Amino acid sequence: MPNTTSAIRRVRRVKQQTAVNRLRKSKYRSTIKQMVGYIASNNMKEARDFLPKFHSRLMKIAKTGTISKKTASRKISRITVKINKSKKK
């Protein structure tokens, strides 16, 4: 139980921020699932069309610190490589 007024405000702020981070993490996971779904179903046209939006969403979430920028970059890079490999086949 927080004793000081600043601690009380901090608890309120943390609760609010936790909700925001949970929303961002959920959006991150659903974006990745959507892209992986396109690749798994061999729907490369959809995957290529979704790639800029995928990149944008991941970097927006990484910018806030919910996930690290390195993690977002790694995901984007690996997905892009998969799409480019399928293009060559």
From the list 83, 55, 79, the residue with the least C-alpha distance to 69 is 55
8 pLDDT exceeds 80?
yes
Q: Which CATH number, 1.10.10.60, 3.40.50.300, 1.20.58.110, 2.40.128.110, labels domain 5-88?
A: 1.20.58.110
Residue 6: band (very low, low, confident or very high) from pLDDT cuts 50, 70, 90: very high
pLDDT at 34: 96
pTM above 0.75, yes or no: yes
Cα distance between residue 24 and residue 15, in whole Å: 15
Q: Which residue has the higher pLDDT, 44 or 89?
A: 44
Beta strand residue intervals within the chain, DSSP E: none
Asked if residue 74 has pLDDT above 70, the reply is: yes
Domain spans of the chain? Answer: 5-88
pLDDT in tens, 11-69: 999 999 999 999 999 999 999 999 999 999 999 999 999 999 999 999 999 999 999 99
8 Å CB contact between 11 and 3: no
